[in-house]
Every structure is written in structure tokens, then in C-alpha cells.
């Protein structure tokens, strides 16, 4: 999750949050940071063709979680929409 997407010119990222979803458990925060750390998170995502979605409010909310913490149930629907978007962009479907 990033507050900037990977299709626009490279503006400064103020905040980026990465999630990992294994298809079984709730998604977890695997990286988060501001400034140069946010830039590096976005660079790594781009290098590995990991879909990104611009959503500053969600990034801010997720950044309040601890690293490796599962997202809380209150965020399941919002994060599910982000994961569905990532699957769509990747041409994948859950469970494959």
C-alpha cells in the first residue's frame, strides 16, 4: 500500500505500507515507513512487479499497526478490496 501509485512519475512518497496475504490468514503488515524508507518500499514493489494502490488514508491507518501484525477485523472489507484489486492487476485469482 502506498500513498502513490506505480504508474505516475516518481513523486516523493511520504508513507508506504506493505501487506502480505497468504490466502489463509488475515493479511499482515510486512513493511512500513516514511521518507526514504517509503521510497525503498515502493522501489522494491516495483522491482518485483507487486501491484500498488494509492490510498493515503488506508496507508495512514495501516501504518499504526506493528510489523507482522494481522490487520484487525474492522479493516477486512477495505483490505479485501485492495487485495482483489492486486489480484486483478496481476491476472491472478485467489487460490491459484
In 1-96, beta strands by DSSP E = 15-20, 28-34
Predicted local distance difference test score (pLDDT) of residue 3 = 46
Going by C-beta distance under 8 Å and a sequence separation of 6 or more, which residues neighbour residue 44? 50
From the list 61, 51, 46, the residue with the least C-alpha distance to 21 is 51
Per-residue pLDDT of the chain (96 residues; tens, 9 = 90+): 544 444 444 556 789 999 999 989 999 999 999 999 999 999 999 999 988 888 999 999 999 999 999 999 999 999 999 888 888 887 876 665
* Distance (Å, whole) CA 38 – CA 18: 10
Predicted local distance difference test score (pLDDT) of residue 7 = 41
Q: How many helices (H) and strands (E) does the chain have?
A: 3, 2
* Distance (Å, whole) CA 73 – CA 95: 21
Enter the CATH code of domain 15-90. Answer: 3.40.1690.10
Amino acid at each position: 500500500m502506498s500513498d502513490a501509485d506505480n504508474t505516475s512519475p516518481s513523486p516523493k512518497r511520504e508513507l508506504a505500507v506493505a501487506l502480505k496475504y497468504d490466502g489463509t490468514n488475515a493479511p499482515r503488515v510486512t513493511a512500513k515507513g516514511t521518507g526514504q524508507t517509503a521510497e525503498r518500499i515502493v522501489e522494491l514493489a516495483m522491482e518485483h512487479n507487486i501491484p500498488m494502490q494509492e490510498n493515503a488514508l488506508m496507508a495512514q491507518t495501516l501504518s499504526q499497526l506493528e510489523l507482522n501484525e494481522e490487520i484487525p477485523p474492522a479493516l477486512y472489507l477495505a483490505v479485501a478490496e485492495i487485495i482483489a484489486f492486486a489480484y486483478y492487476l496481476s491476472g491472478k485469482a485467489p487460490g491459484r
